[in-house]
Amino acid sequence: MLLDPSDPAHKRLYVAGRAGLWGTKNAQDGTAIVWRPCMRHLNATVNRAIAADPNTPGRAYALDVDWTLIRTADHFNQVRQETISVGGSEEFSLAVDSTTNPATVGAVYVGRTNWLAYNADPFTKSWVDTGLPTTQKVKGCSAKKPDAATGTVVLAAVSESGIWRKVGAGSTGDWGSAPVLSSNNVMKGLNTPRTSFSWGGGASKMVYFTDKEHGVFRSMNAGADWVQITPPAGGWNGSGQWLDYCGSVAVDPTDEANCYVTQTGGVWFSADANATPQPVFTKISIPRMGMAKPGCVVFDDAGGVYINALVSDSTPARIFYKAKGSTDWQSIAQDAVFQSQCAFATDMSIGPGPEHRIYLSSDNCGICVGERVITGTGLPSRAFEQFR
């Protein structure tokens, strides 16, 4: 720790630790201390989840083991710690609901030990308990309001239990007394910290889920009933030391027939993800990914898809991007900052257009934020990404 010797009031204090270098300008004025990272963006450790607000450019949230929840209104140029008064002592999952009140900022859900906390706007409002009746860790959460008749559907993936569901935003609605999905060992015996939900866009009631270790599941009625997706030949290959960083599912918000699944064994795609009784997933090859393990897969609001690849013995960490309607996978993250900071990304989120900022969280190097750079060199407009 260091007190600024040029400040006679002793208000400027700096602290260095595994969470990076932080400073405050009001250490002794009797008000709540405001800490800010002393570098561009954030260099903290163990960030399990990250989520951009689709309704508000620049606004995003991340879970940090040492700092609970951090929030930003300017792409992590500046951040504020958010104290959550609801729940236990460790955060596992994060979701932004942009659909219940689409004309304003998105509400935030945080799985905090065995609680699911809710805040309609963490910048101005208080946290409330959603009433989830469980004693196990909430490792996944999601919320969507497909239409007025359905209402806001909130889903929670709970360790050793399954998928819980209620209709009603925040503290409204009833979770019932049992999960809506507990078959096929879903959420049982997991060694991984993150699970993945993905909804179809617009009024779609289709939602996919994977807990990484027990397969892929789908609901066609907003999470009320679920079926396990028949795995492709050879299975999803969800095992091994890479499970903390691999294993996700993403549905195209512009066309619910398109869906990607990543796992330690590769990348799979379905062009009939909304087919009944079962869609077909086919393993695909991404040029230049080589033997690297695919991490997260996400779509932007224009239907572009992003897949990050972990560092391997022969290739650096990368992000591959494919525009909607294209067949060309572009490697868009090739600068040294990204490759050193995001070798093992834990989560990825894409901000709203037209910028489509790329946010990645990491277990050991904090948060990276990507910007599109369009050059006049003849390269494709998304040929590379500048990470800071």
Domain layout of the chain by residue ranges: 1-38
Residue 288 has pLDDT above 90, yes or no: no
CA distance 214 to 301: 29
What was the pLDDT predicted at 40?
Answer: 58
pLDDT of residue 48: 87
How far is residue 93's CA from residue 164's CA, in Å, rounded to a whole number?
14
244 — phi, psi (to 5°)?
A: -65, -25
What percentage of the chain exceeds 90 in pLDDT?
65
pLDDT digits (tens, 9 = 90+) for 242-275: 888 999 999 999 999 999 999 999 999 999 999 9
Greatest mean pLDDT range, 16-30, 184-198, 201-215: 201-215
pLDDT band at 315 (very low <50, low <70, confident <90, very high): confident
b/e sequence 245-266, b meaning 16+ C-beta within 10 Å: bbbbbbbbbbbbebbbbbbbbb
pTM of the model: 0.90
Enumerate the H helices of the chain as residue ranges.
336-341
Mean pLDDT of the chain: 89
Which SS3 state, helix, strand or coil, does residue 376 take?
Answer: coil
In the chain, count H helices and then E strands: 1, 31
Say if residue 240's pLDDT is above 80: no
**Which of 294, 228, 287, 289 is closest to 261 using CA atoms?**
294
